[in-house]
Amino acid sequence: MSSLHGISAHLLLAFTLIALTESFAPTAPLTTFIQSHHRTIHNSPSHGNAPQPLRSSDWSDFAILDDDDDFDVDLTPYADENDPQERKAEIGMSVPAPTVSSNYDPIYVGLGETLPLSEENVEGVLAACREEIGTLFGYTAENRGVGITGAVDFVEMDGPIVILTLKGRYWHQRTTVLERVKSYILERIPEVIDVAVADEWELTDEANEVF
């Protein structure tokens, strides 16, 4: 009887140990879920795509500007003012002479003489002005050879006011050029009360860089 009691005790202990072991072991459904979830994470399209490093901006989308018309650069090797006249003229021959908008013959007025106000007289006196104070302008090859390409043209009469236009590059301030031309005309045609430009911008330094 005692032996049977001992066997029963051993069997009870064995069954207890088996029950405890099974209670701590993961069930098949839980094990399957963990393995399945692990595969899902590692096989996800987003997983394994490492964050792209930040890169500085590239210029692949920008077109190269090749329109040289936006940049007027004068590369003419002009002579120095102290160079011989022949050298200045040689270089100046390669620089286009400024055009003249009208073909009036110069009217030279003697000392103490004057002319009545008319458009023809203004044009004639202005033509003489281009020659007699020609160092201001680019009508001669020698002047163009040192970079002077300035020109003056008649625009219109506004009553007794003469309207002119200045173009090209001058060595002198454009306001100085206008004053010299104004004095020349007023001395010869006293009825003119003023000489002005069509656009005040023509008297700026910026205008002197347009060629």
> Under 8 Å CB-to-CB from 77, ≥6 apart: which residues?
91
Q: Residues 133, 167, 174, 124: what is their CA dihedral angle, to the nearest 10 degrees?
A: 40
More confident residue, 33 or 137: 137
Q: Is 171 exposed, middle or buried (0-12, 13-18, 19+ CB in 10 A)?
A: middle
The region of weakest confidence among 11-15, 71-75, 194-198 is: 11-15
What is the Cα Rg of the chain in Å? 49
More confident residue, 158 or 47: 158
Tokens of 47: 């997983």
Which of helix, strand or coil describes residue 155?
strand
Statement: residue 16 has pLDDT above 70:
no
Mean pLDDT of the chain: 79
